[in-house]
Amino acid sequence: MNTAVAPTPAQQQTALWASTFAFTVCFAVWTIFSIIGVQIKQELGLNDTQFGLLIAMPILSGSLSRLFLGIWTDQFGGRRVFTSVMLCAAAATWLLTFMSSYEGYLFAALLIGLAGGSFSVGIPYVSKWFPPEKQGTVLGIFGAGNIGAAVTKLLAPMVMVAMGWKAVASYWAIGLAVTAVLFFLLTREDPDQVRRASGEIKPTPFVEQLRPLRNLQVWRFGLYYFFVFGAFVALALWLPRLMVGAYGLDIKTAGLLAACYSIPASLFRIVGGWLSDRIGARKVMYWTFGVSVVCTFLLSYPPTTYIVQGIRGPIEFTLAMGVVPFTVLIFVLGFFMSLGKAAVYKHIPVYYPQHVGAVGGVVGLIGGLGGFVLPIAFGALNDLIGIWTSCFMLLFVLVSVALTWMHFAIRRMERMHFPQIDTETDLPEIMSARAQKG
């Protein structure tokens, strides 16, 4: 960071908190179908696979746009790109109120997904205001804007029951448009953009921005994010439907309990960023994957009736998880996934300081694709095998694969590179390993 344009603490805080608030509103819009989709499903008589496609459609476009939005942010500045993204997404959300067919809803949902691409705008924008030693914490704060999913689950059911789902879309569109205007008025161009405008530095060419994507490490981070973020989005969208169907709850109660997952999976991302700065991202990722394996295994066990041949005849008993233990487990799962989301992004500005937009964009893209693919897979599994807990069976397999690959990749890097580690440039996970063995 050039001292000639070093930001003041007030400018840093304004950029951080304005971006976090804007991302929260964007995320609330991005996950709007988790609530209104339940009523649309009833109105159109959709099966679970069609419902899964509907709620996942915004996630698809939001994910695919992340790579390009991240690169454009590095080239043109986060202030302008963030504002443009919010205005376009607000218009798309308003357009939803004029649709009446399943195909029309899918089209509007595809456009609304642009709100999710705002993550890849905020990450490089916020990171440019702070030195590397603080980026884990500040990016964790920004990422806590995921709590927008909980905002939608808590408020949208009340609006929908009182005025219908189109009122939800209208109010969310207006809120996003107002946020866009406030963000533009309150924030400034980031320090790198100011230097580019003065001619001190030139924008990095598009092709050069893509160069780090050749590294396998980038794609490994993408797999981690596929679970910690993609599965978070998928469950944020799917849980209201699951709780209505599996436990017979009304949409208000289901939304409230589903928020018990979304809130810790969002707010505690700040803790994950702080821990990554203090003890290293590698340890945090081990905690995340280890606890997630246990939680998804327990959640995947379906209600089962057993018959034991006793002395006096058959003895029948049932094992089933009630609403309370289910809610506790998803709270724990959400907490540790939030730590992992921050830990993944702690690596990027440290290891790729000149390519945060591109690398953060592709990692976010892969994670977002998880949020698109998994709800469809959840619906298909419901239709195919007819077990409500099948979604957690799939997540158990996914996180087990991620944990295994991470463990062996780290061990392989330690064996190959440990004697020549450069603590100025190497990954935090390896730096942590060296500190432990030293």
- Is residue 411 situated within a structural domain? no
What is the pLDDT at residue 280?
Answer: 79
- Is residue 298 situated within a structural domain? yes
Give the pLDDT mean for 103-129.
89
* Lowest pLDDT segment from 119-133, 208-222, 317-331: 208-222
What is the pLDDT at residue 426?
Answer: 45
What is the pLDDT at residue 422?
Answer: 46
CATH number at residue 395: 1.20.1250.20
Q: Predicted confidence band at 395 (pLDDT cuts at 50, 70, 90)?
A: very high
Q: Predicted confidence band at 201 (pLDDT cuts at 50, 70, 90)?
A: low
Pairing of strands 313-319, 304-310: antiparallel
DSSP 342-378: HHHHHHHHHH-TT-HHHHHHHHHHHHHHHHHHHHHHH
Tens-place pLDDT, residues 329-388: 988 998 899 888 888 877 776 666 666 666 777 787 788 788 888 988 888 888 888 888
Whether 437 has a pLDDT exceeding 60, the answer reads no
pTM of the model: 0.68
The DSSP code for 303 is P
Whether 88 has a pLDDT exceeding 80, the answer reads yes
Domain span including residue 310? 9-399
The average confidence (pLDDT) of the chain is 82
Tens-place pLDDT, residues 310-325: 777 787 777 778 888 8
- Is residue 107 situated within a structural domain? yes
Residue (of 374, 341, 365, 145) closest to 229 by Cα position: 341
| Contacts with 163 (C-beta within 8 Å, 6 or more apart), sequence order | none
Q: Predicted confidence band at 303 (pLDDT cuts at 50, 70, 90)?
A: confident
Whether 428 has a pLDDT exceeding 60, the answer reads no
What is the pLDDT at residue 423?
Answer: 41
The DSSP code for 214 is G
Give the pLDDT mean for 272-300.
88
What is the pLDDT at residue 103?
Answer: 92
- Is residue 49 situated within a structural domain? yes
Residue type for position 334 = G
- Is residue 151 situated within a structural domain? yes
Rounded-to-10 torsion of CA 385, 389, 391, 395: -120
- Is residue 428 situated within a structural domain? no
Q: What is the number of helices (H) and of strands (E) in the chain?
A: 21, 2
Whether 128 has a pLDDT exceeding 80, the answer reads yes
Give the pLDDT mean for 87-104.
92
Answer positive or negative: Cα dihedral of 62, 63, 65, 71. Answer: positive
| Contacts with 379 (C-beta within 8 Å, 6 or more apart), sequence order | 47, 48, 49, 50, 51, 52, 53
Q: How many CB atoms within 10 Å of residue 413?
A: 17
* Rounded Cα gap, residues 384 and 386, in angstroms: 6
Integer-rounded Cα radius of gyration of the chain? 22
What pairs with residue 310 in β-bridges? 313
* Lowest pLDDT segment from 232-246, 278-292, 343-357: 343-357
* Rounded Cα gap, residues 425 and 430, in angstroms: 10
What is the pLDDT at residue 388?
Answer: 87
What is the pLDDT at residue 207?
Answer: 62
| Contacts with 174 (C-beta within 8 Å, 6 or more apart), sequence order | 90, 94
> Between 201 and 256, where is the model more confident?
256
Query: Looking at the 3D structure of the chain, how many domains does it have?
Result: 1
The DSSP code for 67 is H
Q: Give the percent of the chain with pLDDT over 70.
A: 85
Give the pLDDT mean for 231-255.
82
Give the pLDDT mean for 44-60.
86
CB 402 within 8 A of CB 227: yes
The DSSP code for 117 is G
- Is residue 26 situated within a structural domain? yes
- Is residue 377 situated within a structural domain? yes
Give the pLDDT mean for 1-17.
74
* Rounded Cα gap, residues 95 and 91, in angstroms: 6
* Rounded Cα gap, residues 246 and 326, in angstroms: 11
Highest mean pLDDT among 46-50, 91-95, 247-251: 91-95
> Between 140 and 298, where is the model more confident?
298
Whether 210 has a pLDDT exceeding 70, the answer reads no
Give the pLDDT mean for 31-36.
88
DSSP 136-175: HHHHHHHHGGGGHHHHHHHHHHHHHHHH-HHHHHHHHHHH
Q: Label residues 88-107 b or e (16+ Cβ within 10 Å = b).
A: bbbebbbbbbebeebeebeb
